[in-house]
A and B are shown apart, each in its own frame.
Chain A
C-alpha cells in the first residue's frame, strides 16, 4: 500500500475503530483478546492505537474497566456503559447514513 493510501486508511480507521470497539465491548474483553478477535476477523489494529483509544473512551465514561487479578497475570477488562451504548447507536446511525449516500452516488455514476 502506498503511503498516501495508508494515510487515508489511518484516517478512516479512526472512526471505524470507535464503532468496532464499542460494538465488541458488549461482552467484557481485555486488550490482547480484542486484538486477537479483530485479527481473526481479517482486520489489523495496531496495539499501540487500541489502548490509548480504550483509555479515551473510559475517560469519557463510554466504557468502564476493572483489573482481574484472579489469574497469574493481571488483566484489565473493559465493558461498555449505558452512555457508550448511546454513543454507539448514534455512530452506527451516522455510519449507515454515510454508507447509503456512498451507495447512492456509486450507483448513479455506474449509469453514466
Chain B
C-alpha cells in the first residue's frame, strides 16, 4: 500500500460515477502507475510514485476525461435551460402576484403550488420559485440528454424573443434619459419635502389637495421617488459599464419597492372628504391595483431578460 497512490486514487474516485466502472478504472490506473514507476525509476516508492502521479495529471482532470462525450445536458439544449426557466418563472410570477392580490392558493399538481401570501412573503417566495423552476428544467433536459433520442424542443415565438434580447447601446439616449430622470427625481423630491406627497388633485399649490391620505400619500410618494432614483442610478451606471447586472439589480430592487406598495391598504388610501361618487372611488382603487400589477409584470419581464442575458454570458464563457 502506497499512501500517495491510494490518496490520489481516492481523489479520482470522488469525481467518477458508477461504482463498478469506478473500481475498474481505478484498478487500471493503479496498475499503470505502479508499472511506470518500476519501469522508469527502478522501483515503486513514495518518491517515485509522486513523480508518476504528477505526470498523470490532476485527479479531477483525469476523471473528467472519462466523462468526455457524456454531457449532463447536451450543448444543443443549453440555451433552452434559460429559455424554459424564464418562461416557467414568468408563469410562476403571475401566479404569485395573483395569490397576493386575490388572497388564494394555487395548486397545479404535481409541479406548482403557490400558497396564499402577503407581498413580503412573495418577495422571499419568488427567488425560491426561480431556483425550483431552474431545477425542474435542468432535470427534464438531463433526462432528455441521457435518453440520447433526437428531440426537437419547441419554443414559441413571441413579439420579443427572450433569447435574442440585446441591450440598447446609445450613449446619447442614455445621457438624455439620465438628465430627464435626474430632473424628475429632483422635482419629485422637492415636492415631497414641501408637501409630504407628490400626488395632487389640483395644481394650485397655495391650496393644494392631495389625492391620498397623508399616510398613504407619503408611502406611495417615497416608493415612486425610490423607483425613479433607481432608474437614475441605473442609467448612470450603464454609462460606465455594459454589465447586465445593472439591469438585474435595478429591476430586483424595483420589484421590492413595488411589493412595498402593496403593503399600504388601498381601502384607506383615499381621503373620505374627496368629493367623488362611491362608484368612481371603487374604480380608482381597482385601477391603482391593476396599474401596480401591470408595472410589476413589466419589471419582472425586464428582470427575466436581464437574468437571461447574464446566463447567456456565463454560457458563452
Contact = CB atoms under 8 A, between A and B. Distances in A.
User: Chain B: interface secondary structure?
Assistant: helix
Contacts of B39: 32, 36
B40 to A, nearest CB: 9
Nearest to A54: B28
Contacts, number: 43
25 contacts: A30-B31, A31-B28, A31-B31, A31-B32, A32-B31, A32-B35, A32-B36, A32-B39, A36-B39, A47-B32, A47-B56, A48-B57, A48-B62, A49-B65, A51-B28, A51-B29, A51-B65, A52-B65, A52-B66, A55-B25, A56-B69, A73-B31, A74-B31, A75-B35, A76-B27
Interface in A39-55: 46-49, 51-52, 55
Interface residues of B, number: 19
Contact of A55 (B32, B36, B66): B66
A76 B25 CA distance: 10
B65 A48 contact: yes
A103 B34 CA distance: 44
A75 B32 CA distance: 8
A30 B36 CA distance: 12
Interface of A: 30-32, 35-36, 46-49, 51-52, 55-56, 73-76
Given A49-B65, A52-B66, A74 B32 contact: no
A64 B65 CA distance: 20
Nearest to B68: A52
A75 B61 CA distance: 23
Given A32-B39, A46-B57, A76 B31 contact: yes
A51 B25 contact: yes
A36 B29 CA distance: 15
A48 B56 contact: yes
A36 B69 CA distance: 27
Interface centre among B35, B36, B55, B69 (most CB of A within 10 A): B35
Interface in B281-300: none
